[in-house]
Structure 1
Amino acid sequence: MKKLVHASILCILIWSCSSKVEEKMLVDFFQPMPLQAPLVSDGIWGAPNVIPRDTANGLEDPKLKNWNYWDGRIVKSDDGKYHFYGSRWTQSVNHSKGWHDESKGIHAVSDNVMGPYKDLGEIWPQWNNGKGSNVIGLRMHDGRYAVITSEITKGEVFVSDNPNGPFKLLGEIKIDLNGFPYELARYDENNKGAVKNGMVGNMSNVKILLRPDGNYMIIPRSTAPMLSTNGILGPYKIMGDRVFVKQFPEYNVWHMEDPSVWYNNGIYHIIVNHWPTKTTHHFTSFDGINDWEYQGVAFKKEANIFKYTNEIVNDWVFVERATPYVENGHVTHIIFSVLDVKKGQDKANDKHGSKIVVVPFDGKAFDDYMHRKLKLKKEAFNNKD
């Protein structure tokens, strides 16, 4: 009998150890960047910390003759081309004036997800002088292409049957507060910072996700989940509070920004940046609405995210707007808006600027890891009454 008991205990211990999942961060699944062109040092903009670099990675103006780039999401068209919908502003102004006053929605295209992307110009020059920020693109449930702008605009959706446009204004995103505070969806009229910056009532950091149930979900800057059962314009009903409040009740809510959301095989993911500490946090949910659970730090700015396959690293000072590119159900790349110096040091007509960088990501391994980690919890969630 004692031998049987000891054997049973041993089996339990072996099973327990073998079923444990080694704790990892999202950053552990980033991969080195393959070179799209030889690394360049001469004749390009940038502080020494970002030289040499691959100017053919992502989207940039290497000699900074015209543009700084920011924001964006990559969308693949049926012909296999990769379309980048983002924003740009003239290098003849500083960073703050650029994103706030001069930013316009633009479209770029590449044959390779890593780039280089060719700037094809403004997306909606006929509307509001082309104004656009926090610009992202997506394919709608009906197959049409959509591009969204917010932050310096109210939160508008433009659509086209063709990835190359023309894009026409479909309308402004509508919100159903559902009893929740106004500032979860838009800048609060009573928020002095929003009033000072002239953004009263605008949506911010809008990320739209096509849910597998045929609905649309928005995660705005607040990270409060918002659901539309009536198409891409909504109304979007606010379904809950900020997903990070239970984990970080002490955080100033305006210090959290640039959330991204994606879905894989039963798990919704949100990453959101706490900009004072340059730390991006990771949360998951099984229905995308309730029970958001903290999964730890996704990555920090100090991590060697921008490492090439030859081991050279570019140390970008500002790393923002992390946005996953999903293909065949897995994140394969994450794009970033990056700046080589502090924002106050990027002056007009200087040698400092911003660009879009594309970093490979092992989404298949990441999803396998997350499903192993959350398997028992997922089974309990699916079996609950």
Structure 2
Amino acid sequence: MSRFPLFNLVLICLLASCSNPEKQSPKITDFSNLLLPAVKDGGFNMDNYWIWGASAIKGPDGQYHLFASRWPKQYPFNQGYVYHSQVVHAVSEKPEGPYRFKDVALTRRPGYWDGKMTHNPTIQQWEDTYYLFYIGSTYEGESPDGDSLSRIRQIYKKPAYKNIRIGVARSTSLDGPWERLDTPILAPQPTGFDSVVVTNPAPYINEDGSVDLIYRTHIRGTGNRLAYARADHPLGPYRRVLQAPISTAIVEDPFIWKQDSTYYILAKDMEGSITGEKHAGVFLTAKDLTQWTLGKNPKAYPRTVKWADGTQTVQGSFERPQLLIQNGRPTHLFAATADGPGGFRNANHTWNMVVPLKSSECTRPGMAY
């Protein structure tokens, strides 16, 4: 029997453990440890537009396709999206970008529930079809101009906000056209815990086509909460699994994924009571989607961004987290970001940025990140 030096034997074992990703069972205990420096000229940006909430996927053409929200800067940021946002499509040869605008994926369609606004897209694939989850709204009359919107202080009391619903569109091509349903897949209940609003859909499509949908609602006098609905097919029908929030955490902007039998959520810490930093990222984990717990380190990311050139900045906003999943593992974190000191009314510019993540390709079975 031949003898190998110890180094060669270790190398062979490591190569064997990396050759079959299906046998890897890494458990993410600290998402913040995955963050790598971001490229300053990456992401998605458009002159004269507010940009928000990007979701990306690699297409059969080898390019990365990104879906994001945009609305003209002639309207104030926070009020403007409710009336004027649309979902757009951009492409890049690299996952970190920069992404180039290609087309408007979801245009206005008068007479429907999403006739005047589409926003917060998330792209998913099941079998040979792509599913674009989003929120939409409609309202009576003409769209208000910038001056009129600037005078609105309680946008959440306006019909345009109250009419927000969750929907899904489908296509066999990332270039569209996108077939939309005539009705939303989820709307507020007349009474109950999610009677105020249902928004910010975070779907996970299982191998059999069933969907676990985490979404955000608002409970009067309590704040934002996450809720859980389910469907046997991406197009629905969707049913609430619980008539209550799935967590007591005051968060929004969820993103859900599953890795080796464990579910994970990234979300935005609304008050900083969880992470110690207002609007930082929250990391939750679960085996059962109805019972979520905070991760060992509940702070997924700060608003301080480290750049590849060695500098760092504190972003006014760093939210709407979404992940690019490749070969069953997260490889890049996409986030909506803004300049300024913080707060939607203080931003002069917004865009979507990308943070590369450490690879788990050669993680040994059972090893935590």
Q: Calculate the TM-score normalised by the size of structure 2.
A: 0.72
Give the match for residue 350 of structure 2. 354
CA distance in structure 2 between the aligned counterparts of 1:345 and 1:355, rounded to whole angstroms? 14
Q: 1:28 to 1:156 in 2, by over 3 A?
A: same
Give the match for residue 257 of structure 1. 252
* Count of residue pairs brought into register by the alignment: 296
1:215-265: per-residue Cα shift (whole Å, max 9, x none)? 111110142222111x112222222343322xx4xxxxxx42101100111
Q: Which amino acid aligns with 1:107?
A: H
1:82 partnered with 2:78: no
**How big is the shift at 1:79?**
1.5
Q: Secondary structure at the match of 1:206?
A: strand
Greater Cα radius of gyration, structure 1 or 2: 1
CA distance in structure 1 between the aligned counterparts of 2:168 and 2:299, rounded to whole angstroms? 30
CA distance in structure 1 between the aligned counterparts of 2:116 and 2:269, rounded to whole angstroms? 30
If each structure's helix is expressed as a fraction of its own residues, which one has the higher value? 1
**How big is the shift at 1:126?**
5.2
Give the match for residue 280 of structure 1. 281
Q: 1:84 to 1:60 in 2, by over 3 A?
A: same
Hey, which bits of structure 1, 4+ residues long, moved more than 4 A?
21-24, 180-184, 365-369, 371-374
Give the match for residue 44 of structure 2. 59
1:32-77: per-residue Cα shift (whole Å, max 9, x none)? 12x4xxxxxxxxxxxxxxxxxx2x311012xx3x211101210111
- Do the aligned partners of 1:173 and 1:233 also contact (CA within 8 Å) in 2? no
- Do the aligned partners of 2:84 and 2:116 also contact (CA within 8 Å) in 1? no
Identical-pair percentage: 20
Give the match for residue 133 of structure 2. 148
Larger mean CA deviation between 151-160 and 103-112 belongs to 151-160
- Do the aligned partners of 2:44 and 2:97 also contact (CA within 8 Å) in 1? yes
Out of 122, 133, 139, the position equivalent to 1:136 is 122
- Do the aligned partners of 1:330 and 1:367 also contact (CA within 8 Å) in 2? no
Q: Which amino acid aligns with 1:205?
A: N
- Do the aligned partners of 1:124 and 1:130 also contact (CA within 8 Å) in 2? no
- Do the aligned partners of 1:173 and 1:234 also contact (CA within 8 Å) in 2? no
Give the match for residue 30 of structure 1. 35
**How big is the shift at 1:181?**
9.0
1:246-325 to 2 correspondences below 5 Å: 248=249, 255-277=250-272, 278-287=279-288, 289-295=289-295, 296-302=297-303, 304=304, 306-325=305-324
Q: Calculate the TM-score normalised by the size of structure 1.
A: 0.69
Q: Which amino acid aligns with 1:148?
A: F
1:59-208 to 2 correspondences below 5 Å: 59-61=44-46, 64=47, 66-125=48-107, 127-128=109-110, 131-139=117-125, 141-150=126-135, 152=137, 153-174=164-185, 186=194, 188=195, 191=196, 203-208=198-203
Q: 1:366 to 1:309 in 2, by over 3 A?
A: farther
- Do the aligned partners of 1:323 and 1:335 also contact (CA within 8 Å) in 2? yes
Q: Which runs of 5+ in 1 are unaligned?
A: 1-20, 36-53, 192-201, 249-254, 347-351, 375-385
